[in-house]
Structure formats: structure tokens, C-alpha cells
Amino acid sequence: MKQFSNKKATELWGPGSMMFFILFVVALGFSILLSSIIINSFVTKNLEIPVGVEETILIERFYNSPDCFAYEDESGRVYQKIIDLSKFNSRGILDKCISLTDSKYAFKLELVDFRSSEKLSITTSNWANFGNSRIEQKYVSVHSDNKIKNGKLLIHIQNA
Amino acid sequence: MAKRGQLVIKALIILIVSAILIILYPSVGETFGKRDVYKKVVTAREIALIIDALYSYPYDVAVSYEKDLTGLIVEISGENIFVYDSRFSRNLDPTLAAYRFYPTGPNKIDAKLENAKNLKFEKIKNELIIKKE
């Protein structure tokens, strides 16, 4: 058994040797890192935001914010829960409305006209067509050609 | 037998490791002991939710966030909130809390608020301003 009688290797890794200290420092670094990751994960888990709260806050901007689809008149007044139909066909507006790079959410919006049952849909760029999603529905008004119609906004939410 | 150069390196490594342990461990212990770590995480998340809520509101609005953040720095950079100990820089705080928010349009917030007693969020013409009160 030649490999067990290799005295050179034993000296190289022995206590007090340079390699031993390097290993010690690396192991110590890992242990500090690991313990702080474990503790932080417990803390983060205990303080989780209740399910649905963040999504509810986020989806309100779709029909309330002028940066999204809320109708804004010439004077700059914004109307809550009134969707501007001319804005609704542009993904550019949706991407401007919510920045979703590296996000945990993806959205698909469907605007349904009550009278004609016509459906317009728009998705965020990170939407996966075959993924699971849940739906929130909001009753809104739709501004089109200086007229206000009743409609329904279906918001599909996906965990990206 | 170790050469003189090796001994110097070994001593240096031991010094550095000891310095890290002396600085880091008591402060981490203190942070957990005083429950500051919970305060950091909660603050980061609450601020992110407030910002998201303000972006969902169509009109001008001002909101006061009443929490004593003495000893902490709240930094808002890009799309993230960082809350960390004012004794450290952002990347050196072992219990750094971070959370993401979702701005609209070209709105960018860059703020660094140290030792705030209260924070004030103001949204004027869709532009968000965060300052100490």
C-alpha cells in the first residue's frame, strides 16, 4: 500500500501547515455564510407577506394609474376604474406600467365588453402561455370614442 | 519547516480571520438579540408595499411612515429597497434586508435615508419623493 505511506502528503496537510490553514479559513468562511443564510431564511419565512396582498396592490394600477390603462382627459385628470380602450392594445404601455424584469409575477389582461362579449387581451413579456395562473376579475368602465361602456377586466396572475 | 515568508502569510491570515470574527460575530449577535434583523426585513417589505400602493393610486398623495429607524439606513436603488445597519456599508452588513418594488414608467427613485425617525412618501404628478420627516 504505497499511497498510505506517502509521508510527503501527510506533512503537506498536517496541523499547522499552510494548506491546513487555508482549508481552515475556507471552512470557517463557509460556516459563517451557511449559518447566516439559514438564519436569514428562517427570518424571511416568518415575515412573509400574506398571500395575495402584493398582487392585489399591483393589479390595482392596471385600472387606476395613468401610466397604465386608466383614462386621462385633456386636462390631465385621471379617472379611476375607467379604462382607455386606445391604450389597451399596446404591450408597450403594459411594460411601461409595470416593470417585470426578474419578477415573480406575470400578467395577462382580458377586457370583456358586456354588450358584444368582445374580448381584448394583452400579456406582459414574461407571460408563459401554458403555465398555471389564477384569475381576478374587476368590473370597470371602458372609454372609447368619447363614450363610456361597461366592461369586465380579467386579470390572470402567474408566478413567473 | 516553514520558511520566513510562509510564517508572515500565516500570521496575516490569522489576523484577518480574527478581525472578521471580532467585528462580525458580536454585531450579528447583537442584531439578532435586539431583533433588529426582524425590523430590517419588515421595514424593507412595508416600504416596498407602500411604494407599490402609491403607484396604484391615480392622484397626488402624501403618506407618513412612522417607525424609528435610528441606526439603520434605508436605501432605495433601482427597483430595490435595502435596509442595513448604519455601521456597515450595504454589501458588508451580514443581515442586510432587501425587497423589490415595481415602479411604473420611467419613474426612478434613488434615495439614501440614514437614522430616520419618520419617513414621508409624497407622490406629486406621478413622481415619488421619499424623505425624512
Chain mean pLDDT for chain A: 83
Q: Name the closest residue on chain B to residue A18, using Cα atoms.
A: B10
B103 CB within 8 Å of a chain A CB: yes
On chain B, the residues whose CB falls within 8 A of the CB of A54 are 49, 52
**A110 or A45, greater pLDDT:** A110
**Tens of pLDDT, residues B68-95:** 999 999 999 988 999 999 988 888 887 8
| Closest chain A C-alpha to B24 CA, distance in angstroms | 10
List the single residue in A with minimal CA-CA distance to B96: A40
For the whole prediction, is pTM greater than 0.90?
no
Answer yes or no: is pLDDT of A126 > 90.
no
**Full DSSP string of A8-51:** HHHHHHSTTSHHHHHHHHHHHHHHHHHHHHHHHHHHHHHTPPPT
Q: How far apart are alpha carbons A63 and A61 in whole angstroms?
A: 5
Give me the residue from B24, B49, B103 closest to A57, CB to CB: B49
Q: Is B14 on the interface with A (CB under 8 A)?
A: yes
Which of B8, B13, B52 would best serve as a mutation to test chain A binding (most A beta carbons within 10 A)?
B52
Strands A134-144 and A105-113: unpaired
Confidence of residue A1 (pLDDT cuts 50, 70, 90): very low
More confident residue, A89 or A56: A56
Cell numbers given for B87: 455601521
**Count of CB pairs separated by less than 8 Å, A with B:** 84
In B, which residues are within 8 Å of A103 by CB distance? 100, 102
Q: Residue A130: what pLDDT?
A: 80
Tens digit of pLDDT at every position of chain B (133 positions) = 556 666 677 778 778 877 877 777 777 766 666 677 888 999 999 999 999 999 999 899 999 999 999 999 999 998 899 999 998 888 888 788 999 999 887 767 889 999 999 999 999 887 889 998 8
Of the partner residues B37, B55, B100, the one whose CB lies closest to the CB of residue A65: B55
**In this structure, what DSSP letter does residue B59 have?**
S
Q: Which residue has the higher pLDDT, A157 or A40?
A: A157
